[in-house]
Amino acid sequence: MGPLPRTVELFYDVLSPYSWLGFEILCRYKNVWNIQLQLRPSLIAGIMKDSGSLTAMRFLTAVNMEHPEMLEKASRELWMRVWSRDEDITDPQSILAAAEKAGMSTQQARGLLEKTSAPQVKNKLKETTEAACKYGAFGLPVTVAHVDGQTHMLFGSDRMELLAHLLGEKWMGPVPPGVGAKL
């Protein structure tokens, strides 16, 4: 008799394509690894409800309204925190740290952070989110190409070749020649 099976729970929603990948792999491995696989259907909407990016996205909204030239850098520094260095992005101090790394002065960053509680900023973030929903978004990222008076909505980050086709341009992989990509 082998060792007792270990329990592995898989929480998933059929709306999540990566949940499907995890599901198929675990279904294949459950006997190979002798695990007791507990399938746990859950609601992604409930999980994302308080997912913690509200202040960060309000901050970026304020950046976009007041200093749009800083939006790219400020967004990247927040991603660097949460998805590269596994650091917090919910605390105001975390957002200020990202803003300063993006090249803002402490004073400028604090001013924008204060604006996250202004109705104009809150409403602007709501409007942008609603605009995405109107285009048919059911997740992010969503890219909307406006070509020849037509609108094309693309979900995810793996349809860039299709975007290139819609634009009549050439897809040359994630790092096009001549672009110095550090990431």
Scanning residues 11 to 50, which ones bind a second copy (CB under 8 A)? 11-29, 32-33, 35, 39-50
Binding-site member from 94, 107, 140, 165 for a second copy (CB under 8 A):
140
Residues 48-67 that bind a second copy (CB under 8 A): 48-54, 56-57, 60-61, 64
Q: For the CA atoms of the chain, what is the radius of gyration?
A: 21
Q: Out of 87, 101, 110, 128, point to the residue binding a second copy (CB under 8 A).
A: 128
* Residues in binding contact with a second copy, number by CB under 8 A: 93
165 binds a second copy (CB under 8 A): no
Instruction: Report the alpha-carbon angle 116-95-101, nearest 5.
Output: 130
178's torsion region: left (phi>0), alpha (psi -120 to 50) or beta?
Answer: left
- Give the separation between CA 33 and CA 151, rounded to whole angstroms: 48
| Spatial separation of the C-alpha atoms in residues 168 and 163, rounded to whole Å | 9
Options 88, 91, 114, 130; binder of a second copy; rule CB under 8 A: 130
145 binds a second copy (CB under 8 A): yes
Q: How far is the CB of 98 from a second copy (least distance, A)?
A: 9
Q: Is 160 in the site for a second copy (CB under 8 A)?
A: yes
Q: How far is the CB of 105 from a second copy (least distance, A)?
A: 21
Question: Which of 48, 105 has the CB closer to a second copy?
Answer: 48
In the complex, the smallest distance separating the C-beta of residue 48 from a second copy, rounded to whole angstroms, is 4
Give, as one character, the DSSP assignment of residue 136.
Answer: T
Q: Annotated active-site positions, please?
A: 16
Q: Of these, 66, 101, 110, 143, which contacts a second copy (CB under 8 A)?
A: 143
Instruction: Give the span between the Cα atoms of 92 and 131, in whole angstroms.
Output: 27
CA 163 remoteness from chain centre: 19
Closest separation between CB of residue 110 and a second copy, Å?
A: 19
Which residues are bridge partners to 172 per DSSP?
Answer: none
Residues 6+ apart with CB under 8 A from 44: 13, 15, 16
Mutual orientation of helices 54-66 and 106-114 as an angle, nearest 10°?
110
Task: Work out how close the CB of 6 gets to a second copy at its nearest, in angstroms, rounded to a whole number.
Answer: 5
